[in-house]
Amino acid sequence: LLQVLITGPADTPYMNGCFEFDVWFPNDYPTSPMHVNLETTGNHTVRFNPNLYNDGKVCLSVLNTWHGRPEERWNPETSSLLQVIVSMQSLILVPEPYFNEPGYERSKCTQAGQQVYNFLASDVYM
């Protein structure tokens, strides 16, 4: 078991937050990706990102927990723990996490999408 601590990036809702992940490697690693579990969930009560579930699931193509494009999925010859950590930092802990959800990304540049995002974000910051 490996524990990873990621600090929330500046100018995001996660700024100054510390996010703990447990990482473990299956017996067939690197043929299969490592398993990553978010431990910072408020005892499994908080889901603060569409890609981070309150049960700890981390949804990323490179972990094969999301069906993304084939080139985004785990490749035993080129994928690495570093790639997974960088993906979590750059694809999940972002300024507007609401739009991480595939069904909502199309509304990012619309007035309705921004209104919903602002409403949800104000609840997070309170």
Considering the candidates 6, 38, 59, 84, report the single residue annotated as catalytic.
59
CATH number at residue 58: 3.10.110.10
Structure confidence at residue 32 (pLDDT): 98
In terms of domains, do 110 and 84 share one?
A: no
Q: What is the DSSP string of 31-98?
A: TSPPEEEE--STTTT---BTTB-TTSBB--GGGTSS---GGGS--TTT--HHHHHHHIIIIIS-S-GG
In terms of domains, do 90 and 101 share one?
A: no
What percent of the chain is modeled with pLDDT above 70?
A: 79
In terms of domains, do 22 and 35 share one?
A: yes
H or E element, residue 125: helix 111-125
Q: Is residue 106 over pLDDT 80? A: no
Q: Is residue 121 over pLDDT 60? A: no
Structure confidence at residue 125 (pLDDT): 47
In terms of domains, do 86 and 115 share one?
A: no
In terms of domains, do 66 and 126 share one?
A: no
Q: How confident is the model at residue 34 (pLDDT cuts 50, 70, 90)?
A: very high
Domain of 109 in residue numbering reads as 97-126
Question: What does the pLDDT average to over 8-26?
Answer: 94
In terms of domains, do 59 and 70 share one?
A: yes
Is 59 considered catalytic here? yes
In terms of domains, do 60 and 15 share one?
A: yes
In terms of domains, do 59 and 17 share one?
A: yes
The tokens describing 15, both together, are 């700024």
